[in-house]
Amino acid sequence: MVRNRPRTTLKANWDAEQLERAMQLVTSGTSIRKAATTCNIPFTSLQKRIKNKDMAREPHLGRKSVFTPHQEKLMTERLLLLSDLFFGVTPSMLRKTAHDFAEDLKIPHPFQYDIAGKEWLRGFRKRNPSITVRKPEATSMNRVLAFNRGEIKIFFDNLLIMMERYQFRPSAIFNMDETGISSVQVPQAILAAKGKKR
């Protein structure tokens, strides 16, 4: 999919400064059509903005974003908070959450299959440059839990309680050592604050 298409039309080829000049001409008594021609603004664009004062002053091309900037800011803040709490949100989790968020707020959206598209995620990341995708460092659970004498004592105390409660027979006890089993989980890429190391 082409992301940066070369401009082929002169559509929306004006700015807010030209619009203000045209609106001043209209208030001073010039007709809307003449003011539009003088300032190189399409007649209908000027007419709409004179009738509706709340309409955006800048021309806008492309689709309207699903969420408002405020809603996207809330999503970004929540994402960064979860990242600080060591709960990495994967891109697919964010896409699923975006779909659910739009459904809960009854916002019309183009999302299909109960998940937002990859292009939505790309646009979200472009609009919120403080977020980046990174792959966390794989860490052994033994290192995380700091496997020490206290931890071992807790393990064997719990084992004793389970043995007394369920009366396991020797044939139901298996030795599951680490041979052939990796204790280091391969992490997925997550969304985190840009420039953050951990």
Q: Higher pLDDT residue, 75 or 180?
A: 75
The model's pLDDT over 14-25, given as tens digits with 9 standing for 90+, comes to 888 888 888 889
- Give kind and range of the element (H or E) at residue 157: helix 149-166
Is the pLDDT score of 95 beyond 90?
A: yes
Supply the DSSP symbol for 131: E
Percent of the chain having pLDDT more than 70?
A: 87
Give the pLDDT band (50/70/90) at residue 104: very high
Confidence (pLDDT) at 48 = 87
Q: According to CATH, what is the number of the domain 16-51?
A: 1.10.10
> What whole-number percentage of the chain has pLDDT above 90?
18
The DSSP bridge partners found for residue 184 are: 140
**pLDDT value of position 189:** 80
Strands 131-134 and 190-193, sheet pairing: antiparallel
Mean pLDDT (whole number) for 92-108: 91
Is the predicted pLDDT of residue 103 greater than 70, yes or no? yes
pLDDT digits (tens, 9 = 90+) for 109-151: 888 899 999 989 999 999 999 888 887 776 666 665 666 788 7
Angle at 149 between CA 144 and CA 182, to 5 degrees: 40
Question: What pLDDT does residue 88 have?
Answer: 82
| Closest CA relative to residue 184, chosen from 135, 138, 137 | 138
What tokens does 107 get?
Answer: 């916002």
Q: Where in the chain is the domain with CATH 1.10.10?
A: 16-51
Give me 89's structure tokens: 């949100």
pLDDT in tens, 22-68: 888 988 988 989 988 898 888 888 888 888 877 777 777 777 888 99
Q: How many CB atoms lie within 10 A of CB 176?
A: 6
The average confidence (pLDDT) of the chain is 82
Q: Within its chain, how far is the Cα of 98 from the centroid?
A: 7
Burial 142-171 (b: 16+ CB within 10 A, else e): eeeeeeeeeeeeeeeeeeeeeeeeeeeeee
Predicted confidence at residue 2, as pLDDT, reads 57
Whole-angstrom CA distances from 163 to 64, 150, 173, 176 are 62, 20, 10, 17
Choice among 55-59, 84-88, 191-195 with the minimum mean pLDDT: 55-59
Measured CA to CA, the distance from residue 71 to residue 18 in angstroms comes to 31
Residue 177, CA atoms < 13 Å, CB-side half-sphere: 1
